[in-house]
Amino acid sequence: MLEIDGSYGEGGGQILRTALSLSCLTGRPFSIAHIRRQRDKPGLMPQHLAAVRAAQAISNASVEGARPGSTFLTFHPVSLRGGIFSFDIGTAGSVSLVLQTLIPPLLQAGHPSRLTLTGGTHVPGSPSMTYVTQVFTPMLHHLNAKLRLSIDGYGFYPHGGGRITAEIIPEADLKPYNPGAPSGPLRISGVSAVCNLPQAIAERQRAAALAMLAEKCGDDLHPARIEAMNVPGPGQGTFLFLRAERGGVQAGFTALGARGKPAETVGSEAATKLLRHLSSGAVLDPHLTDQVVPYLALARGESSFSTSCITRHLLTNLWVASQFLPLHYRVYGEEGQAGRVRIAPSNRA
């Protein structure tokens, strides 16, 4: 049985999620100790338990240690299967992180799958579902993975209650990724949204983001289009999402509202993160860089690309993937800075 140290690298839940995902895909059992050791509250939280239950359901796995606060888990998959599944985190835990666990194995399941996930769609510490639909999903399509997503209801902290639907259609081979330098006109679009709050908040978020983008981008920017809208959901919340597209490559950044946080701060926060990425001249944003690792580790050929920030999440995810798969990788650059990543699956042409 493969033994994983949950305190390695960033020492958070990503180690567990990637291990669950690749265990289901490869059929390799594993044990993990020191789960989320680097976090203020170590051990399994509701969203991690939801990921374990979901991985167990799609692989008929036997599991030990799946209880709140547990810092040790064993996972032994039996047989991977596609199908119709529904999982409710029960809190505002991130549905995007549970989805992140399930997509790679279900792409190899042999039969299409339909998932319904309930929890937080736009919550701190995870990719927003707007980012997943507008940036991550187009990247998967580029890699020859077929995924359809819809956000049926929006869930914010602390209420949760958002719901998404995902359809995953298996394909035989994933493509490697070797983009050139970003070129062509820069187009920025986005969404400024409120849920059960005044529309004026969304307008103020939007105005703050547009003002900063116009000031910093100048003539390089086609007129940015940010839609202000109300979204359905059981609780209250706000967010602003920005997407940059240049030469067929997308990057995205989300800022979330919070009680006492001015709408103008939300707008400028998202714009600041986007501008920082654009100033690097890199292809992939930091979030997409670490999320794409399992897919490139399974691709038919070597991948090489630039990123605007080498994160500890990226370094950790590469390490976990190499525990399950015959994988060579190299990262050029320092953590916290722009750099380049090379991923070479050693048993693939």
Judged against a pLDDT cut of 80, whether residue 348 lies above it is answered with no
Indicate if 313 belongs to the active site: yes
Residues facing residue 225 across a β-bridge:
189
Q: Average pLDDT in the 248-260 region?
A: 95
DSSP structure string for 158-187: TTB-EEEEEEEE--S-PPP-------S-BE
Rounded Cα gap, residues 340 and 289, in angstroms: 10
Q: Average pLDDT in the 219-223 region?
A: 59
> 44: helix, coil or strand?
coil
pLDDT score, position 214: 85
pLDDT score, position 218: 58
Q: Average pLDDT in the 107-131 region?
A: 96
What is the CATH superfamily name and number for domain 187-280?
RNA 3'-terminal phosphate cyclase, insert domain (3.30.360.20)
* Tens digits of residue pLDDT in 48-91: 999 999 999 999 999 999 999 999 999 999 999 999 999 999 99
pLDDT score, position 37: 87
Rounded Cα gap, residues 33 and 200, in angstroms: 48
Cis? peptide before 127, omega within 30° of 0: no
- For CATH 3.65.10.20, the residue range(s) in the chain are 2-178
Q: Which candidate in 76, 122, 277, 313 is catalytic? A: 313
- For CATH 3.30.360.20, the residue range(s) in the chain are 187-280
Judged against a pLDDT cut of 50, whether residue 282 lies above it is answered with yes
pLDDT score, position 349: 37
Report the chain's mean pLDDT, rounded to a whole number. 94
pLDDT band at 185 (very low <50, low <70, confident <90, very high): confident
What CATH architecture is 2-178? Alpha-beta prism (3.65)
pLDDT band at 6 (very low <50, low <70, confident <90, very high): very high
Burial of 257 (0-12, 13-18, 19+ CB in 10 A): buried
* Alpha-carbon distances, residue 235 vs 119, 156, 157, 229, 263 (angstroms): 11, 7, 8, 16, 18
Amino acid letter, 60: N
